[in-house]
Chain A
Amino acid sequence: MIEALGPHAGFILAAYGVSAAIVAGLLVWIVLDGVSLRRQMRDLEVRGIRRRSARKAAANAADVAS
């Protein structure tokens, strides 16, 4: 396979390798950022600090349950 890429195979593979690494690095950063943000949001909700819409939804759910 590598021989089929000719005398400049190293350049071709490096181009695709670096591109894959850049996209993978970006994806990992975005995913980890999202995980951290969701954890922070959950911590706030546990402390009873919620958005108005979340408070309404929780109140409605409590009404339905009772």
Chain B
Amino acid sequence: MALLDLANPTRFMSLTDRLLPWLWGAALLVLGVGLYLAFFVAPADYQQGETVKIMFIHVPAAWLAMFGYGMMAASALGTLIWRHPLADVAAKATAPVGAAFTLMALVTGSLWGKPMWGTWWEWDARMTSVLILFLMYLGLIALWNAIEDPIKGGRVGAVLILVGSVNLPIIKFSVDWWNTLHQPASVFRMGGSTIDASMLYPLLICAIGATLLFLALSVMAMRNEILRRRIRALRLVAAATTVGAQA
């Protein structure tokens, strides 16, 4: 089956109906293994002690906050260039999931920052840019809810998503461009990771598990959005038929 064949709402519904239980199973299994390794195998950090355990949830949440917006930016291109309805559905469905993971990154970061930095919050470049990402997610959700026509709302939203995507490199490179409380990149960097393998592998496994969870939630939200549009279309047809019959 060609990849383009999946970009059909009916085929997507049929395929994801079969795929979702496996996706959920894989997400729970991988996340479970990752958290077991994080809590019972990975050692305490020589400076942070056991507080480093927050890293195993904070870092995947922060990665997925950006990944979600990246997915929405790719979907926005699909909406504006190919005008594909499923691209629009994907962007709209991913927004609440991305917002939830961004909130998770902000809250867990704050809970990690207090014991390590002595502050819940600092208006530095990394934290502020992630807060802006969270507000952009909320703004997009509000925009979609404010415009009744999903096609029109999708196009307006797609433009706004692409404009907002300028924030992604700012988040990524903020720790290099400005002096912030955050340490520079320590996993994906030139010259390899600076994290010891005993912590790196549990972190990567947690990240894969969290990504599968993110995808499972996004697919469920996409299925809901397809259903919502079908109901709207049927109601419009029913209303038009009633008006036609009365005339």
Residues of A within 8 A of B (CB): 4-9, 11-12, 14-16, 18-19, 22-23, 25-27, 29-31, 33-34, 37-38, 40-41, 44, 47, 49-51, 53
- Which residues on the A side are within 8 Å of B230 (C-beta)? 41, 51
Residues of B within 8 A of A (CB): 10, 44, 49-51, 53-54, 57-58, 61, 96-97, 100, 103-104, 107-108, 111-112, 114-115, 213, 217, 220-221, 223-224, 227-228, 230-231, 233-235, 237-238
Can you give 30 A-B contacts (C-beta < 8 A)? A4-B50, A5-B50, A5-B53, A6-B44, A6-B49, A8-B49, A9-B50, A11-B111, A12-B51, A15-B58, A18-B107, A18-B108, A19-B104, A22-B103, A22-B104, A23-B104, A23-B213, A23-B217, A26-B217, A30-B221, A31-B220, A34-B220, A34-B224, A37-B224, A37-B231, A44-B231, A44-B235, A49-B234, A50-B234, A51-B234
For the complex of A and B, 5 pairs with smallest distance between CB atoms: A6-B50, A8-B115, A15-B108, A37-B227, A15-B111
The answer to whether residues A8 and B51 also contact, given A34-B224, A51-B234 and a CB cut-off of 8 A, is yes
Q: How far is the CA of A53 from the CA of B114 in the complex (A)?
A: 57
Query: Contact at A26–B227, with CB atoms within 8 Å?
Result: no
Query: Contact at A11–B96, with CB atoms within 8 Å?
Result: no
The answer to whether residues A23 and B228 also contact, given A5-B53, A15-B111, A49-B238 and a CB cut-off of 8 A, is no
- Which residues on the B side are within 8 Å of A44 (C-beta)? 231, 234-235, 238
